Amino acid sequence: MLARDGWPVAVNYRSGEAEAAAVVASIEAAGGRAVALQADVADPAAAGPLLEGAAAALGAPVLVLVNNAGVRADGLALSLTDEDWQRVLETNLGSTYRLTRAALRAMIRARFGRVINIASVVGPRANAGQANYAASKAAVIGFTKTVAVEVARRGVTVNAVAPGLIATDMTAGIPDVLLERVPAQRAGTPEDVAATVAFLASAAAAYITGTTIYVDGGLSA
Amino acid sequence: MAEPAQIEKVITDSLISFGANAEDVNRDAELTALDIDSLDLAELSQIIEEQFGVELTSADVAEIHTVGDAIDIVVERA
């Protein structure tokens, strides 16, 4: 949807090369510009080279950043391993911080920027078995608010999108009983989330910053 | 090698672009009196790094109180 709005898109992937290539192909088929870039954003050294690579490939600095990388490693808090904790925090929160820090350099100079962090309904709300994930996503929302305040007068907005139950690989296997708790009585789609991201990236959302938009079919209401 | 006059001009122009009144910008002017804040200083640090290759740490920036302080630290290290 960002490509449909005219943005050239750099698609980052860690291991899903074929899936990233398919996204690029679909954008190009629709007349847009896109490039796929491999990097594991959980690696603290990845952020700078990834953004530089995207800028070089697209011929312009990255002025819209969507922090979308997320993993989960579920288990009750009393049985989580340190590795489960670190991996989820580094990928979901650490990458958001490092990429945002790196991208803000160009954004504040351009007097324009959009940072869109993908959070979750889990974090603001409890979900047994996901203490690490909840901590990472609640922290992303806190991070979003403070960074938004820091850079607002440079024309840079920083917002979060909190999806509920969305039909993706990461939510495969979630029992139907959970769907019954969603007022909309269906899982959301990636397109539901993408539309919100595209809105936040648009000129129409220039005065929205530091907030979280829930895309959850009413789950958090 | 950057000339001190060039460094002074880049810093002065940057401060003005951040909103400081041009007539108030002189060596002795306090940055706070010019309404220059920490975000402005972060951007100024980027500009200095790009133009003169001088990297200012947050500890360096904390020591910059006047326009002259900013010019002097860059002239010293450029």
> Tell me: the pLDDT tens digits for A61-82?
999 999 999 999 999 999 999 9
Interface test with chain A among B14, B43, B56, by most A beta carbons within 10 Å: B43
| pLDDT attached to residue A43 | 93
Whether pLDDT at A168 is above 90: no
Would the pTM count as exceeding 0.95? no
Per annotation, catalytic residue among B13, B24, B35, B37 = B37
| Domain extent for B9 | 4-77
Interface test with chain B among A52, A107, A108, by most B beta carbons within 10 Å: A108
Three-state secondary structure readout of A40-95: CCCCCCCHHHHHHHHHHHHCCCCCEEEECCCCCCCECHHHCCHHHHHHHHHHHHHH
A54 neighbors A35 (Cβ within 8 angstroms): yes
* Tens-place pLDDT, residues A106-124: 999 999 999 999 999 999 9
- Residue percentage of chain B with pLDDT more than 90: 94
Is the ipTM higher than 0.90? The answer is: no
- Tell me the residue type at A79: S
Whether pLDDT at A1 is above 90: no
A78 neighbors A72 (Cβ within 8 angstroms): no
Report which secondary-structure segment, H or E, holds A125.
none
Report the candidate in A47, A197, A151, A135 with the shortest Cα–Cα distance to residue B37.
A151
Q: Does B5 touch chain A (CB under 8 A)?
A: no
Partners of residue A114 on adjacent β-strands = A64, A157
Whether pLDDT at A173 is above 80: no
Alpha-carbon A144 to chain mean position: 11
Q: Which residue of A has its CA nearest to B18?
A: A154
Mean pLDDT along residues B42-67: 95
How many CB atoms lie under 10 A from the CB of residue A202? 15
Report the candidate in B42, B33, B54 with the shortest Cα–Cα distance to residue B14.
B42
More confident call, A148 vs A179: A148
Q: Which residue of B has its CA nearest to A153?
A: B39
**Dihedral sign from CA coordinates of A12, A14, A16, A17:** positive
Whether pLDDT at B1 is above 70: no
| pLDDT attached to residue A170 | 66
Contact B42 A154 (CB under 8 A): no
CATH number (domain holding residue B60) = 1.10.1200.10
**Average model confidence (pLDDT) across chain B:** 95
Contact B39 A105 (CB under 8 A): no
Q: Which residues of A touch B55 (CB under 8 A)?
A: none
User: Structural domain tally of chain B?
Assistant: 1
CA distance A17 to chain B (A): 34
Say how far apart CA A108 and CA A113 lie, in whole Å: 7
CA distance B40 to chain A (A): 9
Contact B43 A150 (CB under 8 A): no
